[in-house]
Amino acid sequence: MYLMMNLLIFGGATLSAERRNGMIKRLMACPVTRPELVMGKIYGLMLLGLVQILFFIAVGKFLLHVNLGANLPAVTLTLILFAWVAGSLGVLVGSLVASHDRVNGICVLASLLMGALGGCWWPLEIGPPALKTISLCMPTGWALQALHQLISFGSDFSAVLTPLAVCWRSRGGERSGRAVFQELIITWGRE
């Protein structure tokens, strides 16, 4: 949840600030296409998430001696994919909302709701069946399902292909964000 909150806020706030300061217009004067610009934003956020992931895995494994399961590469891949989803959603929020304060509020609220409904706050096994169904509507629910299979049950990579595929498809925020971002760039170019 910390990863999602950080990437949502950082992605949304920086994109919002760049829109306000006219940085996006200046970037469009460079020889880059609109999709390259949007993907660069997402990849930058994903790189930030990767640094956080590696730091937390290293601290957890070597300093706190947390059992991360037998399949550490699959755990890392799951977290990287989740960082991709969170970065895409951050770009989407930053594309839709211009005010820095609103971006922060929306990102905090969205990450807390997705964390709570996705199972980050309590185990879904103790919740009602409706909560389990709702968690499957959140990228956090699918990512936690994959992590739970890998860490708690010691499953191999083939057991988490479905949750990872759903997480990959839920990066719809990236596609929606790219479309909104491109439209905003076209609109700003006419001003």
Count other C-beta atoms under 10 Å from residue 90's C-beta: 33
Global pTM reads 0.82
What pLDDT is attached to residue 191? 44
Q: How confident is residue 22, by pLDDT bands cut at 50, 70 and 90?
A: confident
pLDDT in tens, 85-132: 888 888 888 888 878 889 999 999 999 999 998 888 888 888 888 888
Q: In sequence order, which residues have a C-beta less than 8 Å from that of residue 35 and are 6 or more positions away?
A: 178, 182
pLDDT confidence bin for 36, thresholds 50/70/90 = confident
Confidence of residue 175 (pLDDT cuts 50, 70, 90): low
Contacts 24+ apart (CB under 8 A), 145-151: 145/119, 146/78, 147/75, 147/78, 147/79, 150/69, 150/71, 150/74, 150/75, 150/78, 151/67, 151/68, 151/69, 151/75
pLDDT of res. 180? 54
- The CA distance from 184 to 191, in Å, is 11
The phi and psi torsions of 183 (rounded to 5 degrees) equal -65, -40
- Please write the tens of the pLDDT for every residue from 139-164: 888 888 888 888 888 888 888 888 77
| Averaged pLDDT, 153-182 | 68
* Cβ count near 179 (within 10 Å): 14
Whether 171 shows a pLDDT value over 60: the answer reads no
Query: What is the pLDDT confidence band of residue 52, given thresholds at 50, 70 and 90?
Result: very high
User: Where residue 184 falls among pLDDT bands split at 50, 70, 90?
Assistant: low
**Annotated domain spans of the chain:** 2-190
Q: Please give the structure tokens belonging to residue 70.
A: 């037998």
Rounded-to-integer distance, Cα 44 and Cα 185, Å: 19
pLDDT at 173 over 50: no
Nearest alpha carbon to residue 15 among 107, 144, 148: 107
3-class secondary structure, 76: helix
Residue 83 backbone phi and psi in degrees, to 5:
-65, -40
Q: What pLDDT is recorded for position 182? A: 57
Say whether pLDDT at 190 is over 70.
Answer: no
